């Protein structure tokens, strides 16, 4: 398969329009993250691509071949996909090997392929165990191994690591996606976690209310979000009212240079910065500020301060955080995005 594409996809349940004209294009071997809050349509879109649900309007093509439209439907078993659901859905009465073998064609060399997949997913030596004898991370590896066993050209991951602890979830997700890159499979990952999306994908499609607001590289959606909604969905933000003119925004933090994407804006705007663009300095220069409060979080401290009557909360490394009531200056690094007020 060289590409996966969707054009004008719509899906309605009763009177509720769940997907509203979705357009998507994914190159062979690449990784796409569908990022958005619960209820935005991510899983529904994945299910349409998998063939678990028919489309109401629009088309889905695999390598230019239509697999779904309002008048045409290719069933999931003929789409060449591997699907890993949120809960893993392992058969509790089958061993690891039996779970993986379940999806294999009996005409293939099952034992050889089984050993390949066990090695690929780091499950060597666990083939005889039952799901209840495995950790949560190992169970998810089995679900992945079962999806990979038939050598599909498209892997769909529907928030498969949600039940794991945060650190394990992030590390396992990165490890799994690297593994998938090694197989050459095209991959779509559904997630509500920006960190997970940024660390694993080539493209991030940010979804809200059944529509894709922006689809771009992780760096693109983070530093140059298409609108204020995308900015909020992809990380912490600071919004400042200001006036744009000649590529500069005049606001409470001084004169901020606009990102090249919005240099043409003029008039009243909402400027957007990421908190890490603001640095504290005890030396002169920048915008005068005073620390009001500390919130110790271990490896970092959340510092509440005020600058030009503007209240701000910044996350700083604990050993670099200024003392309460300290006075200093805020320096802004980089350019800012802005949106018409």
Q: Are residues 211 and 244 in the same domain?
A: no
Q: Is 298 exposed, middle or buried (0-12, 13-18, 19+ CB in 10 A)?
A: exposed
pTM: predicted TM-score of the whole model, two decimal places: 0.89
Q: Answer yes or no: do 46 and 149 share one domain.
A: yes
Residue linked to tokens 């976690």: 193
Looking at the fold, whether 75 and 105 belong to one and the same domain comes out as: yes
Distance (Å, whole) CA 75 – CA 55? 12
Give the domain-ending residue among 186, 201, 230.
Answer: 230
Residues 211 and 248 in one domain: no
Q: What is the CATH number of the domain that holds 117?
A: 3.40.50.300
Give the DSSP H/E element, type plus range, for residue 112: helix 110-120
Give me 162's structure tokens: 């949600």
Give me the pLDDT at residue 209, please: 95
**Alpha-carbon separation of residue 298 from 217, 281, 314, 315 (angstroms):** 32, 22, 15, 11
**Counting beta carbons within 10 angstroms of the beta carbon of residue 203, is it exposed (0 to 12), middle (13 to 18) or buried (19 or more)?**
buried
The strand pairing partners of 304, in sequence order, are 293, 313
What pLDDT is attached to residue 1?
54
Range of the domain at 89: 3-230
Tokens representing 50? Answer: 């998998």
Give 84-116 pLDDT, tens digit per residue: 887 768 889 999 988 888 877 665 657 888 888
Question: Do residue 145 and residue 265 come from a single domain?
Answer: no
Q: Is residue 68 located within the same domain as residue 171?
A: yes
Q: What is the Rg, in whole angstroms, of the alpha carbon atoms belonging to the chain?
A: 24
Domain boundary among 210, 230, 250: 230
Number of structural domains in the chain:
2
Residue 273's pLDDT is what? 97
Contacts of 160 (CB under 8 A, 6+ apart): 84, 85, 86, 88, 140, 143, 144
Detail the DSSP E strand segments found in 123-277: 154-158, 186-191, 203-208, 211-216, 238-245, 248-251, 254-257, 267-273
Mean pLDDT by 10 residues, the chain (341 residues): 89 95 95 95 96 96 95 93 82 89 69 84 87 86 85 89 76 82 90 92 96 97 97 96 96 95 95 95 91 93 94 93 93 96 89
| C-alpha to C-alpha distance for 52 and 76, rounded to whole angstroms | 7
Same domain as 165, residue 17: yes
Write out pLDDT tens, residues 11-42: 999 999 999 999 999 999 999 999 999 999 99
Q: Which residue, of 201, 230, 259, is where some domain finishes?
A: 230
The CA distance from 212 to 23, in Å, is 8
What's the confidence (pLDDT) of residue 227? 96
- In terms of DSSP H, where are the helices of 51-109? 96-101
Q: Minimal CA–CA distance to 336: which of 268, 267, 261? A: 261
The label of the residue with tokens 């309007």 reads 57
pLDDT for res 145: 86
For 27-50, b where at least 16 C-beta lie within 10 A, e where not — what string?
A: eebebbbbbbeeebbbbbbbbbbb
E strand or H helix that includes residue 65: strand 65-68
3-class state of residue 64 by DSSP: coil
Cβ neighbour number for residue 172 with a 10 Å cutoff: 20
Same domain membership, residue 268 and residue 210: no
pLDDT of residue 101: 85
CATH number of the domain bearing residue 246:
2.40.50.140
Cβ-count burial of 89 within 10 angstroms (0-12 exposed, 13-18 middle, 19+ buried)? exposed
For residues 224 and 244, membership in a common domain is answered with no
**Do 42 and 162 share a domain, yes or no?**
yes
In angstroms, the CA 58 to CA 68 distance is 8
Same domain (yes/no): 256, 323 = yes
Q: Please indicate, yes or no, whether residues 209 and 259 belong to a single structural domain of this protein.
A: no
Selection from 237, 239, 232 nearest residue 208 by Cα? 232
């Amino acid at each position: 398969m060289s590409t996966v594409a969707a054009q004008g996809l719509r899906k309605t349940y009763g009177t509720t329009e769940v997907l509203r004209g979705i357009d998507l294009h994914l190159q062979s071997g690449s990784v796409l993250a569908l990022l958005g809050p619960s209820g935005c349509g991510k899983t529904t879109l994945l299910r349409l691509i998998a063939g678990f649900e028919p489309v109401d309007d629009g088309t889905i093509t695999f390598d230019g071949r239509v697999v779904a439209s309002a008048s045409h439907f290719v069933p999931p078993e003929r789409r060449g996909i591997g699907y890993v659901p949120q809960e893993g859905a392992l058969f509790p009465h089958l061993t690891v090997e039996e779970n993986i073998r379940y999806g294999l064609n009996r005409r293939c060399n099952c034992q050889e392929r089984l050993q390949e997949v066990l090695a690929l997913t780091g499950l060597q030596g666990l083939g005889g165990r039952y799901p209840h004898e495995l950790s949560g991370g190992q169970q998810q590896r089995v679900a992945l191994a079962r999806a990979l066993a038939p050598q599909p050209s498209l892997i769909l991951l529907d928030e498969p690591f949600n039940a794991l602890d945060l650190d394990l979830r992030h590390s396992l997700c990165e490890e799994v996606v690297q593994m998938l890159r090694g197989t050459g499979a095209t991959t779509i990952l559904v997630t509500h976690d920006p960190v997970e999306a940024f660390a694993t994908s080539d493209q991030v499609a940010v979804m809200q209310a059944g529509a894709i607001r922006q689809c771009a590289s992780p760096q693109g959606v983070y530093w140059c979000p298409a609108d204020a909604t995308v900015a909020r969905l992809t990380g912490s933000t600071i919004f400042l009212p200001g006036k744009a003119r000649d590529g500069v925004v005049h606001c409470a933090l001084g004169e901020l240079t606009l990102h090249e994407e919005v240099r043409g804006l003029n008039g009243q705007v909402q400027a957007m910065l990421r908190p890490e663009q603001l640095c504290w300095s005890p030396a002169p220069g920048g915008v005068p500020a005073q620390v009001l409060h500390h919130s110790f979080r271990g490896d970092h401290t959340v510092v509440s301060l005020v600058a030009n009557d503007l209240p701000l909360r910044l996350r700083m490394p604990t050993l670099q955080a200024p003392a309460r009531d300290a006075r200093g200056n805020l320096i802004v690094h980089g350019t800012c995005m802005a949106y018409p007020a």
